[in-house]
Amino acid sequence: MSDAIVQLQRGAPGALDQFYRRHSGRVLRWVIRLGGPYLDAEDVAQDVFMVAFKRIASFDRSRGTEEGWLFGVTRRVVANARRRSMLRRFIGLDTLAPMPDPGPGTDAVVESLWRRRQVQVALEQLDSRKREVLVLMDLEEYTAPETAAMLGIAVGTVYSRLHHARKAFKAALEPSAADLRGSILGAT
């Protein structure tokens, strides 16, 4: 694992592809969770890799893990994408396309996208600091020290933000919780 990034830093053939294949799913998931419903997650994930490849020389193993470094890049790229998206929304160019409520017989993919939308809208109601902690700890299941290292904050701060984030997230998701549960049960 460590060799791959060293080879990538050295510009070894195939290393770029290997790095992309290994992390593309993870980065896409981070972007979906941090980026909110307005972003095109795949495009933003591509941007993350573009920045990561450009900055690969700056990765320093003594200062953190490969994953932590990539998360740092993702955070900044997502923050920029959100800023651009907010601008478009500010002047009314971007609106959320209406999504039909899933009913009996709805396509499974549509249902999945509907569930994602509900969760993303709930996550949008958290400020970015709480959202990052909730995503890393509760959705990505990193430990508190890992989360603290990835965000550059103290472990105590992680716990405190997590506490508030969970409360806010629960309150935001509560109105659609019954529908979500029904949808999951229907799907299974």
Partner 1 sequence: MSWPHWIVEALTPTARELDAVDPGADDDLLEIAREATSPLEDELAMMARRPLPQTRRSLPIWVIPMTMAAVAVATLWVYWPAPVHTDLPLHSEIRLVGAHHDLGPDIDFRGIGDIRVEAAGIDGNVVRVLRGAVHFEVDPNGLQRDLQVLAGDTIVEVRGTVFDVYFIDGHAAVDVTRGRVAVSGPWTGSLVAGQSWTEERPDNVVIVEGPRQPPVEIVRIERIRDTDSPVLEDEEKEEVDLALAYTRLLDQMEDPNVFDRDLLRQIERFLDDHPESALVEDATALRLEVESRIRPVWQVVPDIDAFVTAYPKTPRRLSLLELRATLLRENQDCEGALPTYRVLASDGKGQLKARAEAWRGLCALQLGKHAEARKALATALTLNVKHPLEGEVRIALESMQ
Query: Where does this chain bind partner 1 (CB under 8 A)?
Result: 11, 16-17, 20-21, 24-25, 28-29, 32-33, 41-42, 45-47, 49-51, 53-55, 57-60, 63-64, 69, 72-73, 76, 83, 86-88, 90-93, 109, 112-113, 115-116, 118-120, 122-123, 138-139, 143-145, 151-153, 159, 162-163, 166-167, 169-170, 173, 177, 180-181, 184
Shortest distance (Å) from residue 105 CB to partner 1: 19
Q: Which is nearer to partner 1, 101 or 167 (CB)?
A: 167
Shortest distance (Å) from residue 169 CB to partner 1: 8
Neighbours of 160 (CB within 10 A): 14
d(CA 22, CA 7): 14
Which ranges of 36-143 does DSSP label H, i.e. alpha helix? 41-54, 66-90, 108-124, 128-134
Phi and psi, residue 13, nearest 5°: -65, 140
Q: Which is nearer to partner 1, 33 or 81 (CB)?
A: 33
Shortest distance (Å) from residue 177 CB to partner 1: 6
Q: Please identify which residue in the block is written with the tokens 């990539």.
A: 70
d(CA 124, CA 139): 15
